Structure 1
Amino acid sequence: MPDRPTLVLLPGALQASASLTPLASALAPFADVLLLDLPGHGGQIIPDVLRSWEIAAAVVTELDRRNVARAHVFGYSLGGYVGLLLARAHPERVAGVFAHATKLAWTPEVAAREVRGLNPDRILEKAPAFAATLQQAHTPQDWQLLTRRVADLLTELGENPAVTDSVLRALKVPVQLSLGDQDRMVSLEETVAAYRALARGRLLVLPGVTHPFEHAVQERLAPEIHAFLQAAEEVHA
């Protein structure tokens, strides 16, 4: 009986790993699933600065702690970005990357637009239910401080994107990019451009799906991730 693949699930910015529980449950029959929080998220101590490469390094540290030599990575939004960085920096540790709704075309203008929605005072005023969700997800840490750190991270990505065309072209592992055709943050054009840069890329577009990774979308995507795992495992067999 072949060993079960290990699958790391990485949530998006300002999400706790618990938000991916439906996906983890759906994939548990097919893989050893690890739900990991990004640094500063899910109650972890918030770093003075969040940087994409350092987030990727933190994931490697956690894999070391759990004695995981090699794993597939699924990442939603920023989690997918981190997964691609992991595959570039540590190709021996990553068997494949499935990135869903991951923004790959960063510019200062794009970052400024995204950061406008990350003002804690405005969130409290305009979206108190979202503020309460953030507080619950990241307790006992200060969600407002985390939100500011994430805003700084996005600003840095706008100035100095970490996943560039050259990074994508250098990836040797299987990579699948997916997005919803109604995603207002991630465009089909930028995702197709990234897919074309990949040596071993796959592309999936989900009709009627927006950016938020709701339970129904997770359940819908689970069979696609399972199929990707099977294909990637055959490559490594």
Structure 2
Amino acid sequence: MSAYPTLVLLHGALQTGASLAPLAAALAPSAQLVSLNLPGHGGSPVPDLLRLQDMVDAVIGDLDRQGIEQAQIFGYSLGGYVGLLLAQQHPSRVKGVYAHATKLAWTPEAAAREVRGLDPDRLLEKAPAVAASLEQLHSPQHWRLLTQRVADLLIVLGDRPAIDATVLSNLQMPVQLSVGDHDRMVSLEETVAAYRVLPQGQLLVIPGSAHPLEPSVQRRLAPELLRFLEWTGAAG
């Protein structure tokens, strides 16, 4: 058994485990890392319906296959949402959760705003480089199909959020939330509101950072994650 803490890295929607490579490289000397692709991502078959529950189950299944009884979770955006749900459903398996740029105030209006940005034709016209990247990341599956499934998931989240103040207030393990002060998707206000109901919460605001998890932001997060592991008593 490794003497290092085990840290699961969960990517955001329309990304893959490789999207967190700069963070993984910075953390590798100090943690046993588990990186995986969430269902429908990274070339895996795109289901008819993307469900948060299937994502939680996929993470637990991966931990079971590797014989990992308990781990820390880092999740970016959707990955943070999955990590918090995993902590709610399997508290004995989760030592702590670090969620960065994770939206925790979903409404139909918020979902509609995000879905507008996921229109494949709009992406091809306005951001062809993004569309090309999605095609490469998720080949041989069609990126248009995955984008539509993610949009459908966001609509469900807007109508029926899986995480609310009650869920957060019942999480007994350490949870850290962080957000960039220029994030247009996740507001500082909603992140502070979520932090305030956490029994063991910490909050970090990253200056000059927007929602996309650029390599420079990942490297900025690495020492914060190490401090999080120390705070939770997981660091070796």
In the TM superposition, residue 163 of structure 1 has moved relative to its aligned partner by 0.9
In structure 1, what is the equivalent of residue 28 of structure 2? 28
In structure 1, what is the equivalent of residue 114 of structure 2? 114
Q: What SS does structure 2 have at the residue aligned with 1:118?
A: coil
In the TM superposition, residue 61 of structure 1 has moved relative to its aligned partner by 1.0
Take 1:73 and 1:208, find their aligned partners in 2: how far apart are those partners? 25
**TM-score (normalised: structure 1):** 0.97
Counterpart amino acid of residue 182 in structure 2: Q
In structure 2, what is the equivalent of residue 64 of structure 1? 64
Moved more, 56-65 or 77-86: 56-65
Take 1:17 and 1:68, find their aligned partners in 2: how far apart are those partners? 18
Q: What SS does structure 1 have at the residue aligned with 2:224?
A: helix
Take 1:193 and 1:180, find their aligned partners in 2: how far apart are those partners? 15
In structure 2, what is the equivalent of residue 171 of structure 1? 171
In structure 2, what is the equivalent of residue 185 of structure 1? 185
Q: What SS does structure 1 have at the residue aligned with 2:44?
A: coil
In structure 1, what is the equivalent of residue 12 of structure 2? 12
In the TM superposition, residue 2 of structure 1 has moved relative to its aligned partner by 8.2
In structure 1, what is the equivalent of residue 202 of structure 2? 202
Structure 2: which 5+ residue stretches go unaligned? none
Take 2:175 and 2:71, find their aligned partners in 1: how far apart are those partners? 13
Counterpart amino acid of residue 190 in structure 2: E
Q: What SS does structure 1 have at the residue aligned with 2:69?
A: coil
Take 1:162 and 1:54, find their aligned partners in 2: how far apart are those partners? 13
Counterpart amino acid of residue 106 in structure 1: W
**TM-score (normalised: structure 2):** 0.97
In the TM superposition, residue 53 of structure 1 has moved relative to its aligned partner by 2.1
Instruction: Give CA-to-partner distance per residue, 1:69-111, whole Å, 9 cap, x none.
Output: 1110000000000000000000011110000000000000000
Take 1:164 and 1:51, find their aligned partners in 2: how far apart are those partners? 17
Identity among equivalent pairs (%): 64
1:63-212 to structure 2, matched below 5 A, reads: 63-212=63-212
In the TM superposition, residue 51 of structure 1 has moved relative to its aligned partner by 1.4
Take 1:208 and 1:20, find their aligned partners in 2: how far apart are those partners? 20
Take 1:41 and 1:77, find their aligned partners in 2: how far apart are those partners? 15
Take 2:40 and 2:14, find their aligned partners in 1: how far apart are those partners? 9
Take 1:34 and 1:25, find their aligned partners in 2: how far apart are those partners? 12
**Could you tell me whether the CA contact under 8 Å between 2:2 and 2:32 is conserved in 1?**
no
Moved more, 61-70 or 149-158: 61-70
Q: What SS does structure 2 have at the residue aligned with 1:92?
A: helix
Q: What SS does structure 1 have at the residue aligned with 2:232?
A: helix
In the TM superposition, residue 233 of structure 1 has moved relative to its aligned partner by 1.9
The 4+ residue runs of structure 1 with deviation greater than 3 A are: none
Counterpart amino acid of residue 171 in structure 1: L
Counterpart amino acid of residue 45 in structure 1: P
Q: What SS does structure 2 have at the residue aligned with 1:4?
A: coil
In structure 2, what is the equivalent of residue 218 of structure 1? 218
Report the aligned-residue RMSD: 1.5
Take 1:60 and 1:197, find their aligned partners in 2: how far apart are those partners? 26
Counterpart amino acid of residue 161 in structure 1: P
In the TM superposition, residue 68 of structure 1 has moved relative to its aligned partner by 1.3
Q: What SS does structure 2 have at the residue aligned with 1:141?
A: coil
